[in-house]
Amino acid sequence: MEFVKTDDGKKGMVQAIDGGKVAGEMTYTWAGNDKIIIDHTHVDEAYGGQGVGKKILINIIDWLRSEGVKAIPLCPFAKAQFDKNEEFRDVLS
């Protein structure tokens, strides 16, 4: 699975691509220069239950750590993952 990030400076997304097919995506909105609001997660039905959403979130967390950016998870899926996984919380705003 490949992860592709697009960002226009206001909004962005990370997509999980599997053999040319979009398996899932997580979108975010910038809140200033050093924070993003994770606002939506979508996983294609065919990839349900395979951990695609969590893999996308881990990809975003790795990027946040490397850039010194923090996250505010408003998306229910992302918020639940932060609640369950203590090791993700260092990037919380």
The CA-atom distances, in angstroms, between 60 and each of 3, 4, 28, 50, 91 are 10, 10, 10, 18, 10
> Which CATH number belongs to the domain containing residue 45 in this structure?
3.40.630.30
Give the pLDDT band (50/70/90) at residue 53: very high
The pLDDT value recorded for residue 52 is 98
* Total-model pTM: 0.96
The residue segments making up the domain with residue 85 are 2-91
Q: What is the mean pLDDT of residues 58-79?
A: 98
Structural domains in the chain (count): 1
The pLDDT value recorded for residue 49 is 96
Tell me what percent of the chain is helix, strand and coil, each rounded to the nearest 5: 35, 40, 25
